[in-house]
Structure 1
Amino acid sequence: MSHDKHVSYTSYLKVDELLQLQHPLSDGPEHDELLFITIHQVYELWFKQLLHEASALQLSLEKGETHRSMAILGRMRTIMKTCVSQLDILETMTPLQFNSFRDRLTSASGFQSAQFRELEAVLGRRDQAGADADKKSGMGMADHLVPGSPARQRVEAAMSRASLWDSALRYFNTRMPMPETALNRDVTRAWEPNEQVQQALIELHRNDPEASMIGEALVDLDEGLQEWRYRHVKMVERTIGRKMGTGGSSGAGYLASTLFHPVFPDLWAIRSQF
Protein backbone atom coordinates (compact mmCIF):
# COMPACT_ATOMS: atom_id res chain seq x y z
CA MET A 1 0.00 0.00 0.00
CA SER A 2 1.42 3.37 -0.97
CA HIS A 3 1.41 6.19 1.53
CA ASP A 4 0.98 9.88 0.78
CA LYS A 5 4.42 11.44 1.33
CA HIS A 6 2.94 14.91 1.56
CA VAL A 7 0.88 14.51 4.73
CA SER A 8 1.23 17.62 6.86
CA TYR A 9 -0.18 18.76 10.19
CA THR A 10 -2.81 20.80 8.32
CA SER A 11 -3.83 18.09 5.87
CA TYR A 12 -3.86 15.25 8.42
CA LEU A 13 -6.05 17.15 10.87
CA LYS A 14 -8.15 18.80 8.14
CA VAL A 15 -7.46 22.13 9.84
CA ASP A 16 -8.65 24.27 6.92
CA GLU A 17 -11.96 22.40 6.78
CA LEU A 18 -12.32 22.45 10.56
CA LEU A 19 -11.92 26.22 10.79
CA GLN A 20 -14.61 26.73 8.16
CA LEU A 21 -17.27 25.09 10.33
CA GLN A 22 -18.02 28.02 12.66
CA HIS A 23 -20.79 30.18 11.19
CA PRO A 24 -22.30 32.75 13.57
CA LEU A 25 -25.86 33.72 12.59
CA SER A 26 -26.15 37.00 14.49
CA ASP A 27 -25.67 40.41 12.89
CA GLY A 28 -22.16 41.76 13.28
CA PRO A 29 -21.80 38.94 14.31
CA GLU A 30 -22.15 39.26 18.09
CA HIS A 31 -18.75 38.74 19.70
CA ASP A 32 -19.78 35.85 21.98
CA GLU A 33 -21.50 33.66 19.41
CA LEU A 34 -18.19 32.23 18.17
CA LEU A 35 -17.36 31.03 21.69
CA PHE A 36 -20.79 29.38 21.99
CA ILE A 37 -20.37 27.55 18.67
CA THR A 38 -16.77 26.53 19.33
CA ILE A 39 -17.45 25.05 22.77
CA HIS A 40 -20.42 23.03 21.58
CA GLN A 41 -18.53 21.72 18.56
CA VAL A 42 -15.70 20.65 20.87
CA TYR A 43 -18.27 18.89 23.09
CA GLU A 44 -19.46 16.91 20.08
CA LEU A 45 -15.87 15.85 19.38
CA TRP A 46 -15.49 14.67 22.98
CA PHE A 47 -18.82 12.82 22.80
CA LYS A 48 -17.54 11.06 19.67
CA GLN A 49 -14.38 10.05 21.54
CA LEU A 50 -16.37 8.86 24.58
CA LEU A 51 -18.53 6.66 22.34
CA HIS A 52 -15.37 5.28 20.71
CA GLU A 53 -13.87 4.49 24.11
CA ALA A 54 -17.11 3.02 25.48
CA SER A 55 -17.34 0.60 22.57
CA ALA A 56 -13.81 -0.65 23.22
CA LEU A 57 -14.52 -0.78 26.96
CA GLN A 58 -17.53 -3.04 26.53
CA LEU A 59 -15.49 -5.52 24.48
CA SER A 60 -12.65 -5.40 26.98
CA LEU A 61 -14.93 -5.95 29.98
CA GLU A 62 -16.69 -8.87 28.34
CA LYS A 63 -13.30 -10.51 27.69
CA GLY A 64 -12.42 -10.08 31.37
CA GLU A 65 -9.47 -7.78 30.60
CA THR A 66 -8.94 -5.89 33.85
CA HIS A 67 -5.94 -3.75 32.95
CA ARG A 68 -7.14 -2.61 29.54
CA SER A 69 -10.57 -1.85 31.00
CA MET A 70 -8.98 0.21 33.77
CA ALA A 71 -6.96 2.20 31.22
CA ILE A 72 -10.05 2.98 29.13
CA LEU A 73 -12.13 3.89 32.18
CA GLY A 74 -9.37 6.24 33.32
CA ARG A 75 -9.32 7.93 29.93
CA MET A 76 -13.12 8.31 29.87
CA ARG A 77 -13.09 9.84 33.37
CA THR A 78 -10.39 12.30 32.31
CA ILE A 79 -12.43 13.30 29.24
CA MET A 80 -15.45 13.87 31.50
CA LYS A 81 -13.34 16.17 33.68
CA THR A 82 -12.38 18.11 30.55
CA CYS A 83 -16.06 18.40 29.58
CA VAL A 84 -16.79 19.83 33.03
CA SER A 85 -13.89 22.29 32.89
CA GLN A 86 -15.09 23.63 29.52
CA LEU A 87 -18.15 24.98 31.34
CA ASP A 88 -15.81 27.37 33.15
CA ILE A 89 -15.11 28.95 29.76
CA LEU A 90 -18.79 29.10 28.81
CA GLU A 91 -19.59 30.79 32.12
CA THR A 92 -17.40 33.75 31.16
CA MET A 93 -20.38 34.69 28.92
CA THR A 94 -22.97 36.78 30.77
CA PRO A 95 -26.76 36.42 30.36
CA LEU A 96 -26.84 39.66 28.35
CA GLN A 97 -24.10 38.43 26.05
CA PHE A 98 -25.95 35.14 25.45
CA ASN A 99 -29.23 36.95 24.85
CA SER A 100 -27.57 39.03 22.14
CA PHE A 101 -27.76 36.01 19.80
CA ARG A 102 -30.04 33.49 21.59
CA ASP A 103 -33.05 34.26 19.37
CA ARG A 104 -31.00 33.07 16.38
CA LEU A 105 -30.97 29.55 17.81
CA THR A 106 -34.78 29.26 17.23
CA SER A 107 -35.53 25.54 17.55
CA ALA A 108 -31.91 24.43 18.08
CA SER A 109 -31.41 22.71 21.41
CA GLY A 110 -28.88 20.59 23.23
CA PHE A 111 -31.61 17.94 23.33
CA GLN A 112 -30.80 17.41 19.67
CA SER A 113 -27.28 16.21 20.43
CA ALA A 114 -27.66 12.69 19.07
CA GLN A 115 -24.23 11.72 20.31
CA PHE A 116 -25.00 12.64 23.93
CA ARG A 117 -28.30 10.77 23.70
CA GLU A 118 -26.41 7.80 22.29
CA LEU A 119 -23.87 8.01 25.11
CA GLU A 120 -26.69 8.02 27.68
CA ALA A 121 -28.15 4.91 26.01
CA VAL A 122 -24.75 3.17 25.99
CA LEU A 123 -24.53 3.90 29.72
CA GLY A 124 -27.92 2.26 30.20
CA ARG A 125 -30.60 4.91 29.92
CA ARG A 126 -33.87 3.68 28.46
CA ASP A 127 -37.28 5.24 27.87
CA GLN A 128 -39.67 2.85 29.57
CA ALA A 129 -43.10 4.18 30.46
CA GLY A 130 -41.82 7.68 29.88
CA ALA A 131 -39.76 7.42 33.04
CA ASP A 132 -36.81 9.09 31.38
CA ALA A 133 -38.81 11.45 29.21
CA ASP A 134 -38.67 15.21 29.50
CA LYS A 135 -41.20 15.71 32.31
CA LYS A 136 -42.66 18.83 30.73
CA SER A 137 -42.87 17.83 27.08
CA GLY A 138 -43.34 14.09 27.66
CA MET A 139 -40.64 13.46 25.09
CA GLY A 140 -38.19 10.60 25.32
CA MET A 141 -34.52 10.43 24.50
CA ALA A 142 -34.88 9.99 20.74
CA ASP A 143 -38.01 12.10 20.25
CA HIS A 144 -36.03 15.30 19.70
CA LEU A 145 -34.35 13.67 16.69
CA VAL A 146 -35.82 13.43 13.18
CA PRO A 147 -37.68 10.10 12.75
CA GLY A 148 -35.79 7.76 10.43
CA SER A 149 -32.66 9.91 10.48
CA PRO A 150 -29.26 8.21 10.93
CA ALA A 151 -28.88 10.06 14.24
CA ARG A 152 -32.14 8.74 15.64
CA GLN A 153 -31.36 5.25 14.37
CA ARG A 154 -28.04 5.30 16.25
CA VAL A 155 -29.76 6.26 19.50
CA GLU A 156 -32.48 3.65 19.07
CA ALA A 157 -29.87 1.01 18.21
CA ALA A 158 -27.92 1.85 21.38
CA MET A 159 -31.12 1.48 23.44
CA SER A 160 -31.71 -1.98 21.95
CA ARG A 161 -28.32 -3.52 22.73
CA ALA A 162 -26.42 -4.39 25.90
CA SER A 163 -25.38 -1.37 27.95
CA LEU A 164 -22.02 -0.72 29.58
CA TRP A 165 -23.45 -2.07 32.84
CA ASP A 166 -24.45 -5.30 31.10
CA SER A 167 -20.85 -5.63 29.93
CA ALA A 168 -19.63 -4.90 33.46
CA LEU A 169 -21.85 -7.71 34.80
CA ARG A 170 -20.23 -10.07 32.31
CA TYR A 171 -16.81 -8.94 33.54
CA PHE A 172 -17.79 -9.53 37.17
CA ASN A 173 -19.15 -12.93 36.12
CA THR A 174 -15.64 -13.92 34.96
CA ARG A 175 -14.48 -13.34 38.55
CA MET A 176 -17.49 -14.75 40.43
CA PRO A 177 -20.84 -16.19 39.24
CA MET A 178 -23.47 -13.47 38.89
CA PRO A 179 -27.25 -14.12 39.00
CA GLU A 180 -28.52 -15.67 35.76
CA THR A 181 -31.48 -13.29 35.78
CA ALA A 182 -29.06 -10.36 35.60
CA LEU A 183 -26.91 -11.88 32.84
CA ASN A 184 -29.85 -12.91 30.67
CA ARG A 185 -32.13 -9.94 31.21
CA ASP A 186 -33.97 -7.92 28.53
CA VAL A 187 -31.32 -5.33 27.67
CA THR A 188 -33.88 -3.06 25.98
CA ARG A 189 -35.33 -2.29 29.41
CA ALA A 190 -33.82 -0.02 32.05
CA TRP A 191 -31.74 -1.82 34.65
CA GLU A 192 -33.42 -2.20 38.04
CA PRO A 193 -31.18 -2.39 41.14
CA ASN A 194 -30.74 -6.03 42.14
CA GLU A 195 -30.01 -7.19 45.70
CA GLN A 196 -28.43 -10.46 44.54
CA VAL A 197 -26.07 -8.53 42.29
CA GLN A 198 -25.25 -6.18 45.16
CA GLN A 199 -24.39 -9.07 47.47
CA ALA A 200 -22.07 -10.50 44.80
CA LEU A 201 -20.45 -7.09 44.32
CA ILE A 202 -19.83 -6.81 48.07
CA GLU A 203 -18.07 -10.18 48.03
CA LEU A 204 -15.98 -9.11 45.04
CA HIS A 205 -15.00 -5.85 46.75
CA ARG A 206 -13.92 -7.79 49.84
CA ASN A 207 -12.10 -10.65 48.13
CA ASP A 208 -11.07 -9.61 44.63
CA PRO A 209 -8.88 -6.47 44.40
CA GLU A 210 -9.00 -6.36 40.58
CA ALA A 211 -12.80 -6.58 40.44
CA SER A 212 -12.96 -3.96 43.18
CA MET A 213 -10.78 -1.61 41.07
CA ILE A 214 -13.13 -2.01 38.11
CA GLY A 215 -16.12 -1.28 40.34
CA GLU A 216 -14.51 1.86 41.74
CA ALA A 217 -13.48 3.04 38.27
CA LEU A 218 -17.10 2.64 37.11
CA VAL A 219 -18.19 4.74 40.10
CA ASP A 220 -15.61 7.35 39.06
CA LEU A 221 -17.16 7.49 35.60
CA ASP A 222 -20.69 7.66 37.01
CA GLU A 223 -19.69 10.47 39.38
CA GLY A 224 -18.06 12.31 36.48
CA LEU A 225 -21.30 12.20 34.49
CA GLN A 226 -23.30 13.41 37.48
CA GLU A 227 -20.79 16.22 38.02
CA TRP A 228 -21.17 17.26 34.36
CA ARG A 229 -24.97 17.26 34.71
CA TYR A 230 -24.82 19.40 37.84
CA ARG A 231 -22.44 21.94 36.33
CA HIS A 232 -24.54 22.03 33.15
CA VAL A 233 -27.68 22.81 35.19
CA LYS A 234 -25.94 25.62 37.10
CA MET A 235 -24.51 27.07 33.89
CA VAL A 236 -27.99 27.14 32.30
CA GLU A 237 -29.56 28.67 35.43
CA ARG A 238 -26.81 31.27 35.52
CA THR A 239 -27.30 32.15 31.84
CA ILE A 240 -31.08 31.97 31.26
CA GLY A 241 -32.50 31.47 34.76
CA ARG A 242 -35.76 29.50 34.69
CA LYS A 243 -36.80 30.57 31.20
CA MET A 244 -37.82 27.93 28.67
CA GLY A 245 -34.87 26.36 26.94
CA THR A 246 -34.29 26.66 23.21
CA GLY A 247 -36.18 24.22 21.04
CA GLY A 248 -39.15 24.23 23.44
CA SER A 249 -37.39 22.30 26.19
CA SER A 250 -38.07 23.15 29.81
CA GLY A 251 -34.50 24.37 30.20
CA ALA A 252 -32.97 24.21 33.66
CA GLY A 253 -36.10 22.55 35.05
CA TYR A 254 -35.63 19.47 32.90
CA LEU A 255 -31.87 19.38 33.43
CA ALA A 256 -32.36 19.53 37.22
CA SER A 257 -34.69 16.50 36.99
CA THR A 258 -31.79 14.43 35.59
CA LEU A 259 -29.58 15.04 38.64
CA PHE A 260 -28.74 12.38 41.21
CA HIS A 261 -29.78 9.46 39.01
CA PRO A 262 -26.67 7.26 38.91
CA VAL A 263 -26.19 5.03 35.88
CA PHE A 264 -24.73 2.22 38.04
CA PRO A 265 -27.05 2.32 41.09
CA ASP A 266 -25.93 -1.02 42.54
CA LEU A 267 -22.36 0.24 42.91
CA TRP A 268 -23.68 3.15 44.98
CA ALA A 269 -26.14 1.04 47.00
CA ILE A 270 -23.40 -1.20 48.40
CA ARG A 271 -21.59 1.76 50.02
CA SER A 272 -23.85 1.59 53.06
CA GLN A 273 -23.29 -2.16 53.50
CA PHE A 274 -19.55 -2.27 54.07
Structure 2
Amino acid sequence: MSDEKTRSGCPFTGGTSGGDDLPPAGERLTYNSYLKVPQLLELQNFESSPPAHDELLFIIIHQAYELWFKLILFELDQVAEEMDNGEVYEAWRLLQRVLQIEKLLVQQIHVLETMTPSDFLKFRQALNPASGFQSIQFREVEFLTGIRDTSVMRHIDQTDQDHRRLNARLAEPSLRTRFYQLLQREGFDVAIPEEGEVLEGERREQTMAALEPLYREPKERFHLYTLAESLVEHDQNILLWRFHHVRVVERLIGTKPGTGGSSGVEYLSSTLKKRAYPILWEVRGQLYDDGMYGMK
Protein backbone atom coordinates (compact mmCIF):
# COMPACT_ATOMS: atom_id res chain seq x y z
CA MET A 1 0.00 0.00 0.00
CA SER A 2 1.37 3.43 -0.92
CA ASP A 3 2.29 6.09 1.63
CA GLU A 4 -0.55 8.25 0.25
CA LYS A 5 -3.14 5.60 1.06
CA THR A 6 -1.84 5.00 4.59
CA ARG A 7 -2.01 8.68 5.54
CA SER A 8 -4.57 9.66 8.15
CA GLY A 9 -5.28 12.57 10.45
CA CYS A 10 -6.72 16.01 9.84
CA PRO A 11 -6.84 16.79 6.09
CA PHE A 12 -6.13 20.46 6.81
CA THR A 13 -2.86 19.83 8.63
CA GLY A 14 -1.60 16.92 6.60
CA GLY A 15 -1.14 14.95 9.82
CA THR A 16 -0.02 11.31 9.87
CA SER A 17 -0.96 8.38 12.00
CA GLY A 18 2.45 8.26 13.68
CA GLY A 19 6.11 7.72 13.05
CA ASP A 20 9.58 8.13 14.48
CA ASP A 21 9.78 11.71 13.17
CA LEU A 22 7.00 12.96 15.49
CA PRO A 23 7.63 14.37 18.98
CA PRO A 24 6.34 12.25 21.87
CA ALA A 25 2.66 12.50 22.75
CA GLY A 26 2.09 15.47 25.03
CA GLU A 27 4.82 17.52 23.37
CA ARG A 28 3.47 17.82 19.84
CA LEU A 29 0.86 20.41 18.87
CA THR A 30 -2.71 19.15 18.98
CA TYR A 31 -6.16 20.66 18.55
CA ASN A 32 -6.54 20.93 22.33
CA SER A 33 -3.10 22.40 22.97
CA TYR A 34 -3.32 24.86 20.06
CA LEU A 35 -6.69 26.21 21.26
CA LYS A 36 -5.82 25.89 24.96
CA VAL A 37 -9.05 23.94 25.43
CA PRO A 38 -8.26 22.58 28.92
CA GLN A 39 -7.45 26.08 30.19
CA LEU A 40 -10.53 27.51 28.45
CA LEU A 41 -12.84 24.99 30.12
CA GLU A 42 -11.50 25.94 33.55
CA LEU A 43 -12.73 29.53 33.23
CA GLN A 44 -16.41 28.94 34.01
CA ASN A 45 -16.63 29.38 37.79
CA PHE A 46 -19.96 29.52 39.59
CA GLU A 47 -20.60 32.35 42.05
CA SER A 48 -23.93 30.97 43.29
CA SER A 49 -24.08 28.57 46.22
CA PRO A 50 -25.41 26.01 45.77
CA PRO A 51 -24.54 26.26 42.05
CA ALA A 52 -27.55 27.32 40.00
CA HIS A 53 -27.99 25.22 36.88
CA ASP A 54 -28.41 28.16 34.47
CA GLU A 55 -25.42 30.12 35.71
CA LEU A 56 -23.16 28.13 33.38
CA LEU A 57 -25.26 29.24 30.41
CA PHE A 58 -25.03 32.86 31.55
CA ILE A 59 -21.24 32.70 31.97
CA ILE A 60 -20.56 31.02 28.62
CA ILE A 61 -22.83 33.41 26.69
CA HIS A 62 -20.97 36.42 28.06
CA GLN A 63 -17.50 34.90 27.74
CA ALA A 64 -18.32 34.15 24.11
CA TYR A 65 -19.34 37.79 23.66
CA GLU A 66 -16.00 38.96 24.98
CA LEU A 67 -14.13 36.67 22.57
CA TRP A 68 -16.15 38.00 19.65
CA PHE A 69 -15.57 41.59 20.85
CA LYS A 70 -11.84 40.85 20.79
CA LEU A 71 -12.06 39.77 17.16
CA ILE A 72 -14.29 42.71 16.21
CA LEU A 73 -11.73 45.12 17.66
CA PHE A 74 -8.92 43.31 15.87
CA GLU A 75 -10.74 43.65 12.53
CA LEU A 76 -11.91 47.24 13.07
CA ASP A 77 -8.35 48.32 13.88
CA GLN A 78 -7.32 46.92 10.51
CA VAL A 79 -10.29 48.59 8.81
CA ALA A 80 -9.08 51.89 10.26
CA GLU A 81 -5.59 51.30 8.90
CA GLU A 82 -6.90 50.37 5.46
CA MET A 83 -9.00 53.54 5.32
CA ASP A 84 -5.97 55.63 6.29
CA ASN A 85 -4.08 54.00 3.43
CA GLY A 86 -6.89 54.59 0.93
CA GLU A 87 -7.51 50.86 0.55
CA VAL A 88 -11.28 51.16 0.19
CA TYR A 89 -11.94 47.62 -1.01
CA GLU A 90 -9.92 45.99 1.77
CA ALA A 91 -11.62 48.14 4.42
CA TRP A 92 -14.99 47.06 3.01
CA ARG A 93 -13.95 43.39 2.86
CA LEU A 94 -12.89 43.25 6.50
CA LEU A 95 -16.03 45.09 7.56
CA GLN A 96 -18.08 42.27 6.02
CA ARG A 97 -16.51 39.89 8.52
CA VAL A 98 -17.42 42.22 11.39
CA LEU A 99 -21.00 42.48 10.13
CA GLN A 100 -21.40 38.72 10.03
CA ILE A 101 -20.07 38.39 13.58
CA GLU A 102 -22.48 41.09 14.76
CA LYS A 103 -25.43 39.27 13.21
CA LEU A 104 -24.37 36.21 15.17
CA LEU A 105 -24.22 38.26 18.38
CA VAL A 106 -27.78 39.48 17.87
CA GLN A 107 -28.98 35.88 17.59
CA GLN A 108 -26.83 34.65 20.46
CA ILE A 109 -28.49 36.88 23.06
CA HIS A 110 -31.76 35.00 22.64
CA VAL A 111 -30.28 31.78 24.02
CA LEU A 112 -30.69 33.48 27.41
CA GLU A 113 -34.45 33.38 26.88
CA THR A 114 -34.33 29.64 27.53
CA MET A 115 -34.03 30.67 31.20
CA THR A 116 -37.19 31.47 33.09
CA PRO A 117 -37.23 34.61 35.26
CA SER A 118 -37.17 32.41 38.36
CA ASP A 119 -34.18 30.45 36.98
CA PHE A 120 -32.26 33.72 36.64
CA LEU A 121 -33.18 34.83 40.15
CA LYS A 122 -31.49 31.73 41.56
CA PHE A 123 -28.08 33.26 40.81
CA ARG A 124 -28.71 36.90 39.90
CA GLN A 125 -27.89 38.25 43.34
CA ALA A 126 -24.53 36.43 43.22
CA LEU A 127 -23.58 38.61 40.21
CA ASN A 128 -24.11 41.89 42.04
CA PRO A 129 -22.52 44.43 41.44
CA ALA A 130 -21.14 43.03 38.16
CA SER A 131 -22.93 44.19 35.01
CA GLY A 132 -22.56 43.95 31.24
CA PHE A 133 -22.40 47.76 31.38
CA GLN A 134 -18.83 47.26 32.60
CA SER A 135 -17.60 45.47 29.47
CA ILE A 136 -14.39 47.30 28.59
CA GLN A 137 -14.19 45.77 25.13
CA PHE A 138 -17.74 46.82 24.22
CA ARG A 139 -16.87 50.39 25.22
CA GLU A 140 -13.78 50.11 23.02
CA VAL A 141 -15.99 49.05 20.11
CA GLU A 142 -18.20 52.09 20.72
CA PHE A 143 -15.28 54.52 20.99
CA LEU A 144 -13.52 53.12 17.92
CA THR A 145 -16.74 53.18 15.90
CA GLY A 146 -17.41 56.83 16.73
CA ILE A 147 -19.84 56.70 19.65
CA ARG A 148 -17.94 58.83 22.16
CA ASP A 149 -20.23 59.02 25.18
CA THR A 150 -17.49 59.53 27.76
CA SER A 151 -20.01 59.75 30.62
CA VAL A 152 -19.96 55.94 30.76
CA MET A 153 -16.38 56.14 32.05
CA ARG A 154 -17.63 57.42 35.42
CA HIS A 155 -19.74 54.33 36.00
CA ILE A 156 -17.27 51.58 35.04
CA ASP A 157 -15.11 49.94 37.69
CA GLN A 158 -11.76 50.12 35.85
CA THR A 159 -8.34 48.72 36.56
CA ASP A 160 -5.34 50.83 35.58
CA GLN A 161 -5.01 48.73 32.42
CA ASP A 162 -8.70 49.23 31.59
CA HIS A 163 -8.33 52.99 32.07
CA ARG A 164 -5.32 53.10 29.75
CA ARG A 165 -7.13 51.07 27.09
CA LEU A 166 -10.22 53.25 27.07
CA ASN A 167 -8.25 56.49 27.07
CA ALA A 168 -6.10 55.19 24.22
CA ARG A 169 -9.28 54.62 22.22
CA LEU A 170 -10.49 58.12 22.98
CA ALA A 171 -7.14 59.57 21.91
CA GLU A 172 -7.19 57.96 18.46
CA PRO A 173 -9.38 58.98 15.49
CA SER A 174 -12.60 56.99 15.27
CA LEU A 175 -13.74 55.15 12.16
CA ARG A 176 -16.14 58.03 11.56
CA THR A 177 -13.32 60.58 11.50
CA ARG A 178 -11.18 58.34 9.29
CA PHE A 179 -14.06 57.86 6.85
CA TYR A 180 -14.63 61.60 6.48
CA GLN A 181 -10.88 62.08 6.01
CA LEU A 182 -10.96 59.41 3.32
CA LEU A 183 -13.86 61.17 1.60
CA GLN A 184 -11.94 64.45 1.61
CA ARG A 185 -8.92 62.76 0.02
CA GLU A 186 -11.26 61.31 -2.60
CA GLY A 187 -12.50 64.78 -3.51
CA PHE A 188 -15.70 65.08 -1.46
CA ASP A 189 -16.18 68.50 0.17
CA VAL A 190 -17.29 67.14 3.55
CA ALA A 191 -16.71 68.69 6.94
CA ILE A 192 -14.90 66.49 9.45
CA PRO A 193 -16.75 66.61 12.77
CA GLU A 194 -14.87 66.59 16.04
CA GLU A 195 -15.13 63.34 17.96
CA GLY A 196 -18.57 63.22 19.53
CA GLU A 197 -19.74 66.30 17.63
CA VAL A 198 -23.09 66.35 15.82
CA LEU A 199 -22.74 68.41 12.66
CA GLU A 200 -25.13 71.34 12.50
CA GLY A 201 -25.76 74.44 10.42
CA GLU A 202 -23.65 75.21 7.37
CA ARG A 203 -21.17 72.40 8.00
CA ARG A 204 -23.99 69.89 8.10
CA GLU A 205 -25.53 71.23 4.89
CA GLN A 206 -22.12 71.22 3.21
CA THR A 207 -21.55 67.58 4.14
CA MET A 208 -25.05 66.47 3.13
CA ALA A 209 -24.63 68.16 -0.26
CA ALA A 210 -21.23 66.52 -0.77
CA LEU A 211 -22.57 63.06 0.06
CA GLU A 212 -25.74 63.28 -2.01
CA PRO A 213 -24.07 62.40 -5.36
CA LEU A 214 -22.50 59.31 -3.77
CA TYR A 215 -25.97 58.08 -2.85
CA ARG A 216 -27.75 59.30 -5.96
CA GLU A 217 -25.32 57.53 -8.31
CA PRO A 218 -23.67 54.78 -6.23
CA LYS A 219 -22.25 52.97 -9.26
CA GLU A 220 -20.01 55.95 -10.02
CA ARG A 221 -17.99 55.44 -6.80
CA PHE A 222 -19.16 51.97 -5.90
CA HIS A 223 -16.40 51.00 -3.48
CA LEU A 224 -16.87 54.19 -1.47
CA TYR A 225 -20.63 53.74 -1.49
CA THR A 226 -20.46 50.14 -0.27
CA LEU A 227 -17.97 51.15 2.44
CA ALA A 228 -20.34 53.91 3.58
CA GLU A 229 -23.26 51.49 3.67
CA SER A 230 -21.18 48.91 5.55
CA LEU A 231 -20.45 51.53 8.22
CA VAL A 232 -24.19 52.24 8.41
CA GLU A 233 -24.85 48.51 8.76
CA HIS A 234 -22.22 48.28 11.51
CA ASP A 235 -24.03 51.14 13.29
CA GLN A 236 -27.35 49.38 12.71
CA ASN A 237 -26.06 46.07 14.07
CA ILE A 238 -25.01 47.77 17.30
CA LEU A 239 -28.49 49.29 17.54
CA LEU A 240 -30.11 45.92 16.85
CA TRP A 241 -27.95 44.23 19.47
CA ARG A 242 -28.95 46.90 22.00
CA PHE A 243 -32.64 46.49 21.12
CA HIS A 244 -32.59 42.69 21.40
CA HIS A 245 -30.58 42.94 24.62
CA VAL A 246 -33.19 45.28 26.13
CA ARG A 247 -36.04 42.95 25.23
CA VAL A 248 -34.25 39.88 26.63
CA VAL A 249 -33.44 41.70 29.87
CA GLU A 250 -37.05 42.89 30.13
CA ARG A 251 -38.30 39.32 29.78
CA LEU A 252 -35.96 38.15 32.54
CA ILE A 253 -36.16 40.91 35.15
CA GLY A 254 -39.04 43.19 34.15
CA THR A 255 -38.61 46.63 35.75
CA LYS A 256 -36.06 45.60 38.39
CA PRO A 257 -32.85 47.71 38.67
CA GLY A 258 -29.73 46.38 36.94
CA THR A 259 -27.13 44.46 38.94
CA GLY A 260 -24.55 47.19 38.36
CA GLY A 261 -26.76 49.86 39.93
CA SER A 262 -28.38 51.16 36.72
CA SER A 263 -32.14 51.53 36.29
CA GLY A 264 -32.11 48.33 34.23
CA VAL A 265 -34.44 48.28 31.23
CA GLU A 266 -35.03 52.04 31.48
CA TYR A 267 -31.31 52.75 31.10
CA LEU A 268 -30.84 50.18 28.32
CA SER A 269 -33.76 51.68 26.38
CA SER A 270 -32.13 55.12 26.55
CA THR A 271 -29.09 53.79 24.65
CA LEU A 272 -31.18 52.99 21.57
CA LYS A 273 -30.75 56.58 20.36
CA LYS A 274 -26.98 56.34 20.02
CA ARG A 275 -25.68 56.47 16.43
CA ALA A 276 -22.15 56.82 15.15
CA TYR A 277 -23.00 57.98 11.60
CA PRO A 278 -26.13 60.17 11.75
CA ILE A 279 -25.29 62.01 8.52
CA LEU A 280 -24.95 58.75 6.58
CA TRP A 281 -28.38 57.78 7.86
CA GLU A 282 -29.91 61.14 6.99
CA VAL A 283 -28.45 61.72 3.53
CA ARG A 284 -30.77 59.18 1.88
CA GLY A 285 -33.65 61.43 2.91
CA GLN A 286 -32.22 64.07 0.55
CA LEU A 287 -32.75 61.90 -2.52
CA TYR A 288 -35.76 62.57 -4.72
CA ASP A 289 -37.91 60.37 -6.92
CA ASP A 290 -38.90 61.96 -10.23
CA GLY A 291 -41.87 59.61 -10.56
CA MET A 292 -43.48 60.16 -7.17
CA TYR A 293 -45.84 62.90 -6.02
CA GLY A 294 -44.71 65.23 -8.80
CA MET A 295 -41.38 65.78 -7.01
CA LYS A 296 -38.30 66.87 -8.97
Q: Could you say which TM-score interval applies, normalised by the shorter chain?
A: 0.7 to 0.9
Work out the number of aligned pairs and report it: 255
Equivalent in 68, 71, 89 of residue 67 of structure 1:
89
Contact 1:98 1:239 in 2 (8 A): yes
What CA deviation, in whole Å up to 9, does each residue of 1:18-39 have, x standing for no partner? 0000001112311100000000
Matched residue, 1:155 = 166
Confirm or deny that 1:260 pairs with 2:276: no
Q: Distance between the aligned counterparts of 2:236 and 2:174, measured in 1?
A: 17
Q: Distance between the aligned counterparts of 2:113 and 2:237, measured in 1?
A: 19
Q: Distance between the aligned counterparts of 2:158 and 2:243, measured in 1?
A: 30
Matched residue, 2:231 = 218
Matched residue type, 2:100: T
Contact 1:84 1:227 in 2 (8 A): yes
Q: 1:25 to 1:91 in 2, by over 3 A?
A: same
How far did residue 147 of structure 1 move? Answer: 5.2
Contact 1:145 1:151 in 2 (8 A): no
Secondary structure, in 3 states, of the residue corresponding to 1:27? coil
Q: TM-score, normalised on structure 1?
A: 0.88
Q: Distance between the aligned counterparts of 1:106 and 1:261, measured in 2?
A: 26
Matched residue, 2:258 = 245
Matched residue, 1:200 = 210
Contact 2:113 2:248 in 1 (8 A): yes
Q: Which moved more, 1:216-225 or 1:190-199?
A: 190-199
**TM alignment of 1:123-142, pairs within 5 A:** 123-127=145-149, 140-142=151-153
Secondary structure, in 3 states, of the residue corresponding to 1:191? coil
Q: Distance between the aligned counterparts of 2:163 and 2:84, measured in 1?
A: 27
Unaligned runs of 5+ in 2: 1-22, 288-296
Matched residue, 2:180 = 169
Equivalent in 132, 135, 155 of residue 144 of structure 1:
155
Contact 1:77 1:220 in 2 (8 A): yes
Matched residue, 1:22 = 44
Q: Distance between the aligned counterparts of 1:173 and 1:64, measured in 2?
A: 11
Matched residue, 2:134 = 112
Q: Distance between the aligned counterparts of 1:147 and 1:46, measured in 2?
A: 21
Matched residue type, 2:197: W
- Aligned residues: CA RMSD: 1.7
Matched residue, 1:82 = 104
Matched residue type, 1:269: E
* Larger RCO, structures 1/2 (Cα 8 Å, 6+ apart): 1
Matched residue, 2:143 = 121
How far did residue 148 of structure 1 move? Answer: 5.6
Unaligned runs of 5+ in 1: 129-139
Matched residue, 2:79 = 57
Contact 2:147 2:274 in 1 (8 A): no
Contact 2:147 2:275 in 1 (8 A): no
Q: 1:146 to 1:87 in 2, by over 3 A?
A: closer
Confirm or deny that 1:178 pairs with 2:184: no
Q: 1:120 to 1:114 in 2, by over 3 A?
A: same
Moved runs in structure 1, 4+ residues, more than 4 A? none
What CA deviation, in whole Å up to 9, does each residue of 1:81-110 have, x standing for no partner? 011010121111111110010010121111
How far did residue 208 of structure 1 move? Answer: 1.7
Confirm or deny that 1:8 pairs with 2:30: yes
Contact 2:140 2:169 in 1 (8 A): yes
